[in-house]
């Protein structure tokens, strides 16, 4: 009887109640403030420093076709529409930085990963800004 009751309660409770790190998008939005607005993004210069220190992982969330056309040569490539199924590939001990050419999809990926308990930011100037930062001599000196 106790086992059946425990199983019933486990199935009836949402995932957030089972894992204190998880929370809903609704809760994230309800708690959203100016501090979170500032903390949810990172620029390319700061990202490069964290990548070199092995404190962050870049996750390129573009579609496979986009990635095939051009890539950064480092980081993980997990398309946005595959992200929920591929969470186990992400290192929870490091900052996850989501990126796309601009920032629309990376902001969406960031919000999702935040609700899954990740320390996450999105790349504010996008992959285009990162590519601009790493061109020429700067690329030569970058070792992720």
Per-residue pLDDT tens over the stretch 14-73? 444 446 578 888 999 999 999 999 999 999 999 999 999 999 999 999 999 998 898 888
- Match 């993980």 to its residue by tokens: 76
> Comparing C-alpha atoms, which of 93, 19, 15 is closest to residue 55?
93
Measured N-to-C along each axis, helices 44-52 and 126-133 cross at an angle, to the nearest 10 degrees, of: 70
Band (pLDDT 50/70/90 cuts) for residue 98 is very high
Adjacent-strand bridge partners of 60: 77, 99
Q: Sketch out the chain's domains with CATH numbers.
A: 19-141 (3.40.250.10)
Closest-CA residue to 25 (of 116, 95, 87): 116
Mean per-residue pLDDT over the chain, rounded: 85
Contact 110, 65 (CB under 8 A): no
pLDDT attached to residue 138: 65
Element (DSSP H or E) covering residue 65: helix 64-69
123 close to 130: Cβ distance less than 8 angstroms: yes
Residues in the chain: 144
Give the pTM. 0.82
pLDDT band at residue 7 under the 50/70/90 scheme: very low
């Amino acid at each position: 009887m106790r086992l059946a009751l425990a199983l019933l309660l486990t199935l009836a409770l949402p995932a957030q109640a089972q894992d204190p790190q998880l929370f809903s998008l609704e809760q994230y939005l309800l708690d959203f403030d100016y501090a979170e607005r500032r903390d949810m993004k990172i620029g390319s210069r700061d990202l490069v420093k964290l990548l070199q220190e092995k404190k962050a992982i870049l996750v390129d969330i573009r579609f496979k076709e986009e990635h095939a056309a051009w890539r950064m040569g480092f980081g993980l490539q997990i398309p946005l529409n595959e992200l929920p199924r591929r969470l186990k590939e992400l290192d929870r001990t490091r900052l996850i930085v989501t990126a796309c050419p601009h920032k629309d999809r990376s902001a969406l990926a960031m919000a999702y990963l935040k609700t899954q308990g990740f320390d996450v930011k999105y790349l504010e100037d996008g992959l285009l800004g990162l590519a601009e930062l790493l061109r020429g001599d700067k690329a030569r000196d970058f070792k992720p």
